[in-house]
Amino acid sequence: SQECSRVLPVIEALRVEYPEVLISIDTFRANVARQAVAAGANMVNDVSGGNLDEAMFRTVADLGVPYVLMHMRGTPQTMNQLTQYENLVPDILQELARKLAVLRSLGVVDVIVDPGFGFAKTVAQNFELLAHLSKFSALNAPLLVGLSRKSLIWRSLSITPEASLNGTTVLNTLALQSGAKILRAHDVGAAVQAVKLWELTSQRN
C-alpha cells in the first residue's frame, strides 16, 4: 500500500541508525501496523481507536506491542460533524472503557489511553475535556495527551499554530497536573522542561 511504501523505509532506516529509540507507528490499518512492527516499530498508535479496521485489536494482541487507544468518532473527514454528546466526559469514558475491556480480554497488556483532543470535539468540548481530565484515571491505563499546537489554543488566542508554543506549554502543564503520563509534542525541548518542573513540584506534595 501507499502508506507502507512511505513509512516502512523510514522505520527501517531509523532502527539501523538509532537502535535504542522507541518508534511508534501512527496508523488505523491493521496490515500497516503488522508490517511496521516487523520493520522495527515498537508500538501502535491508532487515531480511530479500532473503529476503522475491525482486525486492529486482534492484530495488536498477536503482535504483543503497546497500543495507544485514542477516542475519535467517524473518520478524520467526518469527525467534525460528530460532536453531539449526551454528556461529554462520561460518554468518552464509556466508549474507551468498552474498548479497553475488549483489548484486555484479547490479552493486550500495555494499553495507553488518549482522550483525543481535537477529534470529534469542538473547541469548547476540548476545554471541558481538559478540565475533567483527572476522571480518566478510572480507566487504570496510562494517559497520553496531544495538545501541541491544536486549534483550541490558536483559535482561542487568535494566533497561528506556529505561535502556539506558550499556550501548548500552559495546557501541557494542566494536563500533567491532571494525571497525563505522556505528552505528544512538536516542541520536544519545551515539553521536557515542563515535565521536569512539574515533577520537581509534584514530588513535594
Distances from the Cα of 163 to the Cαs of 112, 158, 166, 170, in angstroms?
29, 10, 8, 13
Q: How many CB atoms lie within 10 A of CB 170?
A: 13
What sign does the dihedral 113-118-123-125 (CA atoms) show?
A: negative
Of 86, 80, 156, 169, the C-alpha closest to 116 is 80
* Each residue's pLDDT tens digit, 56-100: 999 999 999 999 999 999 998 999 999 999 999 999 999 999 999
* Each residue's pLDDT tens digit, 10-42: 999 999 999 999 999 999 999 999 999 999 999
Beta strands in 78-183 (DSSP E): 111-114, 144-145, 182-183
pTM of the model as a whole: 0.94
Q: Are 102 and 57 a contacting pair, CB within 8 Å?
A: yes
Q: Which residue has the cell 475535556?
A: 129
- Which residues face 126 on adjacent strands? none
* Each residue's pLDDT tens digit, 95-120: 999 999 999 999 999 999 999 999 99
Q: How far apart are alpha carbons 98 and 90 in whole angstroms? A: 12
* Each residue's pLDDT tens digit, 128-157: 999 999 999 999 999 999 999 999 999 999
C-alpha cell at position 131: 478540565
Residue 12 pLDDT: 96
Active site residues: 150, 184
